[in-house]
Structure 1
Amino acid sequence: MDPLSEVLSQMRPGSPLARLAADQGNWCVQFPAHGYIKCYAVLSGECWIAVEGGAPVALTAGDCVLLPGGRAFRLGSDLTLPAVEVETYLQQKEAQGALNTETPEASPDEVTFIGGAFTLPGPQAALLLGALPPLIHLKRATGQETLRWYLERMEQELREERPGARLVAEHLAQLFLIQALRVYLDLTGTDQVGWLFALTDPELSGTIGAMHADPAFPWTVQCLAGRAGLSRSTFAARFKAAVGMAPIEYLTKWRMLLAAERLTGGRETVSSIALSLGYESEAAFSTAFKRVMGGPPRRYGRQRHRGADAAAD
């Protein structure tokens, strides 16, 4: 299995949502900052989208857009109009009976689209989302038809609520993400900086996969360079240029992301996590964790555990 597949196979999109919607005339909707990966496919017509701090992007029939950064955004026919908060907009549409309509009446200025949203937990997600821009615009081209099909199937599964619908929707969400990343990588090429793009380099991807597979191993730059078939200096320079950080810095970040996930569960001690990730002492691990995550591991674990309990309530 290639390293990108290995990382993506560990991600399990959760809480999938999908909705088919239509609107016409002049409209503008404000969406707040969110904890989801959101995606839209325009089925017909035209509209605009803009993430907070970004320029407006025109969407036409066949286009797909991915919003992995969690920023607030606006969607509408004219983004200069006063924006209606999304909750108010949905209430208005439900009252009009125009939401989740399978065969809406057509009009010249109508736009129909399907939108999806899902969570992406785990340390792999933190690396992936950090490597992506806040908005990915996939113009109509090869591969977009597949993306739209995944969203349409998600909407159908969640709407019909047949046995196993939730599981099918979660798998479709994962397939959508993989296909979107494929199209994105094809469009952007391999000269970008970041973890995701480094995985397309056959010599670097093997070393990243090795660190992910055995984070507790006492990796050195020399050892990793040998796996890549490169000299130590060439590997170190190439890795930093591609990933944006030095090899051991990346390894430390990966270890801390793994530790953060385990601390959130609240079932393991800091000492046991430290040993399992290759640290000889809890003190050394705590120092590294504080440097990467911004606070000591025990405090991090308590805060995240309380947050999870509050969310469950």
Structure 2
Amino acid sequence: MFDHDVLTDLLHPLHLTSVFHSRWVVRGPWNVQGDDDECAVLHYVLRNRCFVTIDGKPPIVLHEGDLAVFPYGTAHTLGDGSTEPTQPLESVLTHRRLGSSATIRLGTEGETTELMCASVHYDPAGEPPLYRSLPAVIVLDRHMLAQEPLLTRTLECLVPETERAGPGSQLIALRAFEMVFVLALRVALQNRTTDNPALHALIHPGISKALSAIYTDFEQPWSLHTLARRAGMSRSTFAKTFRDLVGEGPAQHLTRRRMREAVRLLTDTSTPLSAIPQLVGYQSTVGFHLAFRKTIGDTPGSYRQRKHRQPRHGTRTEAMAATS
């Protein structure tokens, strides 16, 4: 469909690291509220149906065989559609250790609903600039899944596989849920499941080429002119279309991609400070320092010293500044 793979370019920096998965066997009435999470969340309905509510919006009905994907773990309520008071997820899942699993049983009345759920964790510092512009939830109904044999078979095989315990179980579960996550996003792109500007940007014949260049060749001296030429569009049309679909101009998007890489180099490597500007596309050290301070709110040297004194999980706030 495409002569380049912008979805791979978008997802490659995420570095999915671990998964917690659970099997839910519930009867009404039930409603469970989850908070914003630092992961991708998947809900696959195995039996009956359930309702998903986000931020007070009308509920989304998930029927048997439907899959819902929350790319960045947006807070939502999962339930049977009743007016039963919600329980916080923490009271239902008191211990969620990464790499483990659980079975949840709730309620004693009415029909039984069964779900397979997963939280697929990634390094938040790896979120590309466009990632949080994706839809908060992507729903693929059973009819759409029926046209995707690889995704369907992976989901079907996951059910018995997640109930096994043996050598390699954690890695197998992570890779299987990772495949479901990527395949679901691909289906959403190919079928345009929602009128979301970011999804349209990823499939736009010109803008997607520019995004691939920004994500994979950010160290190159891109300008509005060269990015427009890569997109095969006039500068004015390219600039307007890019802003309409991506939500910001090409220069700002490129800067945030470069800052994300700078944060990674400062946090995870011992690359000399003097080498980082050129590695992320700046010929001028002064220009790099100004851009870094404006985006992150600190100098590169001070940022590195502070991060190396903190636990790795303490980097989320500053890392997100480069991608939000």
TM over 0.5: yes
Distance 1:282-1:167 versus aligned 2 partners, 3 A rule: same
How far does the alpha carbon of each residue in 1:228-267 deviate from its partner, in whole angstroms, 9 at most, with x for none? Answer: 2322223222222232222222211110111122222252
Q: Indicate conservation of the 8 Å contact 1:114/1:151, yes or no.
A: no
Alignment of 1:1-313 (within 5 A): 1-78=4-81, 80-90=83-93, 100=103, 109-121=111-123, 125-143=127-145, 147=151, 149-151=153-155, 153-154=157-158, 156-188=160-192, 192-194=196-198, 196-265=199-268, 267-305=270-308, 306-308=310-312
User: Partner letter of residue 167 of structure 1?
Assistant: L
Bigger Cα displacement from structure 2, 241-250 vs 126-135: 126-135
State how far apart, in whole Å, the 1-side matches of 2:302 and 2:313 are: 15
Deviations 1:178-212 (A, max 9, x none): 22112322453696423x43221222222222232
Runs (5+) with no aligned partner, structure 1: 92-98
Determine if contact 2:13/2:127 at 8 Å carries over to the other structure: no
Distance verdict in 2 for CA 1:52–1:186, change over 3 Å:
same
Compute the displacement of 1:108 (Å): 5.4
- In the superposition, relative to structure 1, how do residues 49 and 300 fare at CA in structure 2: closer, same or farther (>3 Å)? farther
Aligned to 2:319: none
Relative distance call for 1:162 and 1:128 in structure 2 (3 A) is farther
8 Å contact kept, 1:66–1:137: yes
1:156 to 1:16, Cα distance in 2 relative to 1, 3 A:
farther
- Identify the range of structure 1 (217-226 vs 8-17) with the bigger mean alpha-carbon deviation: 8-17
Distance 1:259 1:191, change over 3 A: same
Question: How far off is 1:9 after superposition?
Answer: 4.2
Asked whether the 8 Å contact 1:69–1:133 carries over to 2, the reply is no
Q: List runs of 5+ in structure 2 lacking aligned partners.
A: 95-101, 316-324
What is the root-mean-square deviation of aligned Cα atoms in Å?
3.2
| Contact kept? 1:18, 1:151, Cα under 8 Å | no
> What amino acid is the match of 2:115?
F
Residue 41 of structure 1: SS of its match in structure 2?
strand
SS of 1:142 mapped into structure 2: helix
Deviates further, 111-120 or 295-304: 295-304
Q: Is the 8 A contact 1:39 1:116 kept in 2?
A: yes
Distance (whole Å) between structure 2 residues aligned to residue 28 and residue 138 of structure 1: 22
> 2:135 is matched by which residue type in structure 1?
P
SS class of match (1:109): strand
- In structure 2, distance between residues paired with 1:21 and 1:190: 27
1:18–1:155 Cα contact (<8 Å) kept:
no
User: How high is the sequence identity, in percent, across the aligned residues?
Assistant: 30
Q: How many residues align?
A: 301
TM-score by length of 1: 0.81
SS at 1:272 equivalent: helix
State the alpha-carbon separation in 2 of the partners of residues 191 and 73 from structure 1.
20
Partner of 2:97: none
SS of aligned partner of 1:141: helix
For residues 119-160 of structure 1, the C-alpha deviation after alignment (integer angstroms, 9 at most, x for no partner) is 133665343531223222333322267556534544544542
* Contact preservation (8 Å) 2:210, 2:230: yes
What does the per-residue CA deviation read over 1:39-75, in whole Å, with 9 as the maximum and x for residues that have no partner? 1011111222223454432222122212233333222
* Distance verdict in 2 for CA 1:36–1:189, change over 3 Å: closer
Contact 2:10 2:131 in 1 (8 A): no
Counterpart Cα distance in 2 of 1:79 and 1:14: 36
